[in-house]
Homo-oligomer: A and B are copies of this chain.
Amino acid sequence: MAFVSGYGRFALTILLFFLGQIPNAFPQSIIQSWPRNQASNDHDDVLYCDSWRFSVETNDAGYWSKIPARCLSFVRDYMNGDRYRSDSEVVAGNSLAFARSVEIAGDGRDAWVFDIDETLLSNLPYYESHGFGSETFDEKSFDEWVDLAEAPALPASLSLYKELEQLGFKIFLLTGRSEFQRNVTEKNLAYAGYKNWERLLLRGPSDQRKPAIVYKSEKRSDLVNEGYTIHGNSGDQWSDLMGFAIAQRSFKLPNPMYYIA
């Protein structure tokens, strides 16, 4: 910039300042995936990946094993930015609005079912270091993460959980985790701030080879047969919510990182 005089340098400084500031007017998630020198590729990727996300969140895509390679930065930005938090909060708001409309019978049979992973607890710290769903799922390293019992609560779910408890719902936790993980799961739930659940249901030996949708439907069916009314069901997978003995209202939480059939 040796050729630039005083005013010129001043104006260029202003220019660089503005160029640095403008991105802050836009959401972090969008900026992070649009480095300035590849804006049009990135525009295409964001457009495609947002549509891909629509198709997985509505279950239109059906089974998928990994996120599309071109959507890695999109998913990372979504999960780490405002959007995941905002989507989770709106779903929790929908859930609470419905819960408040339920007439609690007062016989202790009004139930709400929660899934655990990516519903009550967030495994984002694990997926941060494992490619946000872009790598093949590695059960061994995931189980080691589970054993740490350090998954944080999804804040919107923790607030909802407490409100439902206040309203008088009996809370059932229905997870694809194994009975062998009962202790660490209870420890992690307590660590994250959850308490007073009615029952924690994990996969026993006879459940191990069942698809999640069958295993979870059977467990809900058992609850119905015990006399519970399942008013609400919250889960990040369609296999948490569909099948049989489905709840009066089901609430699909966002999860663009993995799919469980």
Task: Give the B-binding residues of A (Cβ under 8 A).
Answer: 3-12, 14-15, 18-19, 22, 25-27, 30, 34, 36, 39-40, 43, 46-48, 50-52, 54-55, 57-62, 82-83, 86-87, 89-91, 94-95, 98, 249-252, 254
User: Given the interface contacts A4-B7, A7-B5, A11-B11, does A51 sit within 8 Å of B86 by beta carbon?
Assistant: yes
Partner of A50, one of B15, B83, B251, B252: B83
- CB nearest neighbor in B for A58: B252
- CB nearest neighbor in B for A254: B54
Q: What CA separation (Å) do A3 and B51 show in the bound complex?
A: 50
Q: What CA separation (Å) do A25 and B19 show in the bound complex?
A: 13
- CB nearest neighbor in B for A84: B51
Query: Can you spell out 18 A-B residue pairs with CB atoms less than 8 angstroms apart?
Result: A5-B8, A12-B15, A15-B15, A25-B34, A26-B30, A47-B83, A47-B86, A48-B86, A51-B89, A54-B87, A54-B90, A55-B91, A55-B94, A57-B58, A59-B250, A60-B252, A61-B94, A62-B94
- CB nearest neighbor in B for A28: B43
Q: Determine how close the nearest CB of chain B comes to the CB of A115; give it in whole angstroms.
A: 14
* A50/B18 in contact, CB under 8 A: no
Q: Which residues of B contact A19 (CB under 8 A)?
A: 18, 22
Q: What CA separation (Å) do A19 and B6 show in the bound complex?
A: 22
* B252/A59 in contact, CB under 8 A: yes
Q: Which residues of B contact A50 (CB under 8 A)?
A: 83, 86-87
Q: Determine how close the nearest CB of chain B comes to the CB of A242; give it in whole angstroms.
A: 10
Partner of A11, one of B8, B40, B87, B89: B8
Q: Which residues of B contact A60 (CB under 8 A)?
A: 90-91, 94-95, 251-252
User: Given the interface contacts A4-B11, A26-B43, does A57 sit within 8 Å of B55 by beta carbon?
Assistant: no
Q: What CA separation (Å) do A14 and B15 show in the bound complex?
A: 8
* A36/B25 in contact, CB under 8 A: yes
Q: What CA separation (Å) do A40 and B21 show in the bound complex?
A: 13
Q: Which residues of B contact A87 (CB under 8 A)?
A: 50-51, 54-55
Partner of A52, one of B6, B55, B90: B90
